[in-house]
Amino acid sequence: MTGVLASQQIAQLIKAGSLSADPPIDAAQIQPASLDLRLGGVAHRVRASFLPGRGRSIADRLTEFSMHAIDLSNGAVLEKGCVYLVPLTERLALPHGLRAVANAKSSTGRLDLLTRVVTDDGTEFDRIPEGYDGPLYAEICPRSFSVLVRPGMRLNQVRFRDGPATLDDVDLRALHAAQPLVDCEPVIDGGLGFSVNLRPADGDLVGYRAKPHTGVIDLDLIGHYPVGEFWEELHTTEGRLILDPGAFYILVSNEAVTIPPDYAAEMAPYLAMVGEFRVHYAGFFDPGFGYGGIGARGVLEVRCHEAPFVLEHGQVVGRLVYERMSQRPERLYGHEIASNYQGQGLKLAKHFRA
């Protein structure tokens, strides 16, 4: 069956040598429908973000754009507003018919840490064509906070697709009829629409805005940092929020979402014309997210652009594109695999104190 490869199929790719790494891939990197990627031992500070282009390797382009190399062995700070390129320890040799897509992990997105995979001959970020045989790199641009990183840290992940996987709107409506995907009437148009919650059931806390001048975040420290040193709480009783240009926000969806075990999902933009803001996406929703209960809220990472913008309660800001799994994963998100975000509501990255 075609679709997104499950954990046990990813393990077979590793066994076959289609996925390799030095040091070898750890079983803990394998998620229900993706593989976590690890940082290597050096970061190249580059002048600007770039794609190598057809017929060009990353190594070639680094001779043009690299400013200096930073040894990560003992930990090093990647500074806010700078762009870095870090070789990943994993390497791909994709068989014919298999393609891959990468995305930031949940905690990476919630720190406004722009992280994208780049390949040799690449003409797109986070997209890896079938048959690709070569190294992987992570482009990292801290947007709100400077971060301390070390080799082996996992900031992004890769998902593998064999043949067509995406559900069209007809299939999505049928799936919702059989297994409710949201706890309300669905908005289905090129995916499952989700909206912002600015009228919480309890209290008036609707989100957080990143403070502009903060300390460094060590990505190895979990539940360590006081929220107030890095975030400003946002309260409203009016069901609206005015977004400031250049500011970064953590908000939450109005819908509780479910991803059934035989499916995965990916966040995507709803419409570029909805306003002067963009929702940044942690990306992948694994099989089992919100499953077996009333669902889980999607956390929204929002950045406002050119002009202040009024965001209203219930405004549709994004969509979930559902995909079929090639096989049901042997372990599901939040069940056999522990997660920081299963059953979540409004929640910051795991590095901050609850």
- Domain annotation for the chain: domains and CATH numbers: 3-162 (2.70.40.10), 169-324 (2.70.40.10)
Question: In the prediction, which pLDDT does 341 show?
Answer: 47
Which amino acid appears at position 235 of this protein? H
Concatenated DSSP letters for 130-178? Answer: TT-EEEEEEEEEESSS-EEE-TT-EEEEEEEEES--B--HHHHHHHHHH
Task: Note the pLDDT of residue 30.
Answer: 96
* Regions of the chain short of the pLDDT cut 50: 338, 341-343
Are 42 and 86 contacting, i.e. CB atoms less than 8 angstroms apart? yes
Cα–Cα separations (whole angstroms), residue 232 to 161, 229, 248, 277, 308: 40, 8, 11, 19, 18
Contact 128, 92 (CB under 8 A): yes
Nearest residue to 91 via CA among 120, 123, 50:
120
pLDDT at 343 (0 to 100)? 47
- Look at residue 275 and give its three-state secondary structure: coil
pLDDT at residue 201, as a whole number: 87
Residue 102 is predicted with a pLDDT of 95
Please report where in the chains the tokens 């913008």 appear, as a residue. 309
Res 91: pLDDT: 97
Phi, psi dihedrals of residue 57, rounded to the nearest 5°: -100, 160
Q: What pLDDT digit, counting tens, does each position of 197-245 carry?
A: 999 988 999 999 999 999 999 999 999 999 999 999 999 999 999 999 9
Phi–psi pair at 103, nearest 5 degrees: -160, 160
pLDDT of 192 reads 93
Burial of 314 (0-12, 13-18, 19+ CB in 10 A): middle
Rounded to 5 degrees, what angle do the CA atoms 193, 255, 314 make? Answer: 70
Structure tokens at 260: 């059934």
Start-to-end Cα distance in the chain: 42
Residue 339 makes CB contacts below 8 A (sequence gap 6+) with 333
Q: Cα-flanking dihedrals φ and ψ of residue 25, to 5°? A: -65, 135
* Helix (H/G/I), strand (E/B), else coil: 50: coil
ω before 135 within 30° of 0 (cis)? no
